[in-house]
A and B are shown apart, each in its own frame.
Chain A
Amino acid sequence: MRAIDTLLSGDLPRSRLLALALGAILFALALAPFLFPGTRSLDVAAKVCIFIVLVASYDLLLGYTGIVSFAHTMFFGIGGYGIAIAMTRLDAGWSALAIGTAGALAVSLVLSLLVGLFSLRVKAIFFAMVTLAVASFFAILASQLSDLTGGEDGLTFKVPEFLRPGFRLLDEPVLGVVFGGKLITYYLVFTSALALFLGLLRAVNSPFGRVLLAIRENEFRAEALGYRTVVYRTLANCLSALVATLAGVLYALWLRYTGPNTTLDFAIMIDILLMVVIGGMGTMYGSILGTTLFIVAQNYLQDLMKMASGATRGIPLLPDLLHPDRWLLWLGVLFVVCVYYFPLGIVGRLRHGGARKG
């Protein structure tokens, strides 16, 4: 019990249902290659792992510090481009991966520090605008510097041999699962994501994390107690950016590709916002539920609707409404309903009535 408490930094789910849901998701992701064989479902599982980290790092900003930033996808992209550029320019080995990751982290650190120091002193809306401008500029830069970034096409690159789909650990499949580069990459992604999430959970439940909450609650008072809030916000901004960068590295590694559409697209920024809000801001666990629900819906809603549309054949109007082409409409409806009925997100709802403990 104490080990779990330590692992979760004392921030237990505090709701049986929430604990159950989290356990189920952890179980499903941990055994995804065995439970859901098939390329597409493994892609979905890997994306869920990576986006949990991306969304959790955004929650650190939005939910815990009360900062609205639109530059999160930029840092995500810096991670992806960092290793893509290193892997295409250098030998596609582990050292190139390390150099690309380190370079991306350095760029993100400097950028987040600059953006933070220049604009976190002033009004929140100004910070949001600055991040929007910087992120747009970065996206333009990425598409213009096509010699370096591959422009709109992005960069496809080779990964270390060990991680390539062609690599085989065992000659024969076991339980129908191929033990090869794809599986290894998945578990690299899974364990990294788990470690990063637990690290974030620790950060928000550390003395530092509680100061962030205090700043969100009453900045004036936090200052009067002697906390230099600019320093705290800037650090939170940097930490969030660095974790987003690592998520970008993992995503590029999984896709063996980085391009504007997989990282820098503004639509991804909106998705991140939605996932945080649906899961529950300022809870960390919300990022797990929000992301899983969102990405699974995004990927399987069409299939589900195809089935529903078929099943309701003969009933007027319904099959049309449920036609797979309407999936975006239903996704939208789902979100509106979610936000309307769970203003504190799913986690807030599950914990309903439970006061936070000291």
Chain B
Amino acid sequence: MQTAEHPVLETRGLTIRFGGHVAVNEVSCSFHPGTLTAIVGPNGAGKTTYFNLVSGQLRPSAGRVLLFGEDVTDDPAPVRTRKGMGRAFQLTNLFPLLTVRENVRLAVQARARSGLNMVSMWGRQSELIEKAEHFLHRVGLAERSASLASTLPHGDQRKLEVAMLLALEPDIFMFDEPTAGMSVAEVPVILELIHDIKNQKDKTILLVEHKMDVVRSLSDRIIVLHQGALVADGNPAEVIASPIVQEAYLGVSASA
């Protein structure tokens, strides 16, 4: 998938080693606005680790990360977030003893850059509160907004994770298996949300997803990671049909 536009995000030779184990191996790839790129690969392929390198949770052993053409490899995670990256985590990662509304509100507030305000009352910033409610509504959690995050069932925690990502209003959305562990009935809400973001045209979406039907219907492009290396990159039909995917990812022997 090549567009004339400048890439929003680019990784060059991105590599990380844990001891002797190379979890991400020289991944070079660029991402363009208005496209949804699915990242697939078997468990342990390095997808989450690649995300961690891109959004700054981990520092690479080698390689660079470029955001809007600027080298952000040395920027810590919060700085990259402020520059437009947004991330939803694979393993649910919330503020368990705060309410659902407060969780989203913290994301809204981060986006509004008003976290250093020491004199206003948290409970009276109606604009930010309404915004938080809006995002909760979008993921279908409005009714639970006063519950503690830790009391939510798993599927709702995943939705909250997505609501927090939406509330950051980033340029780059990184979803790490957003529907994993959700019941069949819950999945469409999330997929529709991702579809809506895609329809905004100016957003860049990276999606790690296992369900092949989801990948096929949503993505403009698929990249395949295998043992940390990028082994395929192209339009969905091609990539899914390629022998390397049939073998490496779907576990089908190429000769079969």
Q: Given A227-B78, A358-B146, check contact A214 B98 (CB 8 Å).
A: yes
8 Å CB contact of B115 from A211, A220, A221, A223: A211
| Cβ–Cβ contact B97 & A217, under 8 A | yes
**Which of B94-143 touch A at CB < 8 Å?**
94-102, 105-107, 109-111, 114-125
Interface residues as binary, B193-232 with A (CB distance below 8 Å gives 1, 0 otherwise): 0000000000000000000000000000000000000000
8 Å CB contact of A205 from B97, B121, B168: B121
8 Å CB contact of A224 from B57, B99, B114: B57
**Which of A80-139 touch B at CB < 8 Å?**
none
- Judged by a CB distance under 8 angstroms, whether A203 is at the interface is yes
- Judged by a CB distance under 8 angstroms, whether A232 is at the interface is yes
CB neighbours (8 Å) of B78 from chain A are 223-229
CB neighbours (8 Å) of B123 from chain A are 9-10, 205, 358
Instruction: Please measure, in the bound complex, the distance between the C-alpha atom of A130 and the C-alpha atom of B57, giving whole angstroms.
Output: 27
* Total contacting residues, chain B, CB less than 8 A: 43
User: Which of A210, A222, A229 counts the most chain B CB atoms within 10 A?
Assistant: A210
CB neighbours (8 Å) of A231 from chain B are 116
**Which of A322-358 touch B at CB < 8 Å?**
355-358
| Cβ–Cβ contact B168 & A226, under 8 A | yes
CB neighbours (8 Å) of B79 from chain A are 228
Shortest CB distance B93–A (Å): 5
CB neighbours (8 Å) of A358 from chain B are 98-102, 105, 123, 145-146
User: What is the predominant secondary structure among interface residues of chain A facing chain B?
Assistant: helix
**Which of A222-254 touch B at CB < 8 Å?**
222-229, 231-232, 235, 239
- Judged by a CB distance under 8 angstroms, whether B9 is at the interface is no
CB neighbours (8 Å) of A224 from chain B are 55, 57, 77-78, 81, 87, 89, 93
CB neighbours (8 Å) of A6 from chain B are 121
CB neighbours (8 Å) of B121 from chain A are 6, 9-10, 202, 205-206
8 Å CB contact of A209 from B82, B105, B118: B118
8 Å CB contact of B109 from A203, A205, A207: A207
Instruction: Please measure, in the bound complex, the distance between the C-alpha atom of A214 and the C-alpha atom of B96, giving whole angstroms.
Output: 9
8 Å CB contact of B102 from A210, A221, A225, A227: A210
Shortest CB distance A300–B (Å): 37
8 Å CB contact of A206 from B106, B111, B118: B118
8 Å CB contact of A208 from B94, B118, B124, B125: B118
Instruction: Please measure, in the bound complex, the distance between the C-alpha atom of A214 and the C-alpha atom of B145, giving whole angstroms.
Output: 17
CB neighbours (8 Å) of A264 from chain B are none
| Cβ–Cβ contact B82 & A226, under 8 A | yes
- Judged by a CB distance under 8 angstroms, whether A39 is at the interface is no
CB neighbours (8 Å) of B118 from chain A are 202-203, 206-209, 239
Instruction: Please measure, in the bound complex, the distance between the C-alpha atom of A93 and the C-alpha atom of B198, giving whole angstroms.
Output: 69
Instruction: Please measure, in the bound complex, the distance between the C-alpha atom of A232 and the C-alpha atom of B82, giving whole angstroms.
Output: 16
CB neighbours (8 Å) of A210 from chain B are 98, 102, 105-106, 109, 122
- Judged by a CB distance under 8 angstroms, whether B164 is at the interface is yes
| Cβ–Cβ contact B110 & A207, under 8 A | no
Q: Given A10-B121, A209-B118, check contact A225 B110 (CB 8 Å).
A: yes
User: Which of A207, A235, A239 counts the most chain B CB atoms within 10 A?
Assistant: A207
Instruction: Please measure, in the bound complex, the distance between the C-alpha atom of A211 and the C-alpha atom of B109, giving whole angstroms.
Output: 9
Shortest CB distance B15–A (Å): 22
- Judged by a CB distance under 8 angstroms, whether B76 is at the interface is yes
Shortest CB distance A112–B (Å): 16
Shortest CB distance A222–B (Å): 8
| Cβ–Cβ contact B76 & A218, under 8 A | no
| Cβ–Cβ contact A221 & B125, under 8 A | no
Residue of B nearest to A355 (CB): B148
- Judged by a CB distance under 8 angstroms, whether A213 is at the interface is yes
Interface residues as binary, B169-186 with A (CB distance below 8 Å gives 1, 0 otherwise): 000000000000000000
Residue of A nearest to B99 (CB): A358
Shortest CB distance B79–A (Å): 7
8 Å CB contact of A218 from B87, B95, B117, B145: B95
| Cβ–Cβ contact A218 & B125, under 8 A | no
Shortest CB distance B174–A (Å): 10
| Cβ–Cβ contact B98 & A217, under 8 A | yes
Contacts A221-B94, A358-B105 supplied; 20 other A-B pairs, CB < 8 Å? A10-B124, A205-B123, A206-B118, A207-B114, A207-B122, A208-B118, A209-B118, A213-B95, A214-B106, A218-B96, A221-B93, A221-B95, A223-B77, A225-B164, A226-B168, A228-B79, A229-B78, A231-B116, A357-B99, A358-B101
Would you mind naming 27 contact pairs between A and B with Cβ atoms under 8 Å apart? A10-B122, A202-B121, A205-B123, A206-B117, A206-B118, A209-B122, A210-B122, A211-B115, A217-B98, A218-B95, A218-B96, A220-B57, A220-B93, A221-B89, A222-B95, A223-B78, A225-B110, A226-B81, A228-B76, A228-B79, A232-B116, A356-B97, A356-B148, A358-B100, A358-B101, A358-B145, A358-B146
Counting from the closest, the 3 A-B pairs by CB-CB distance are A226-B81, A10-B123, A358-B99
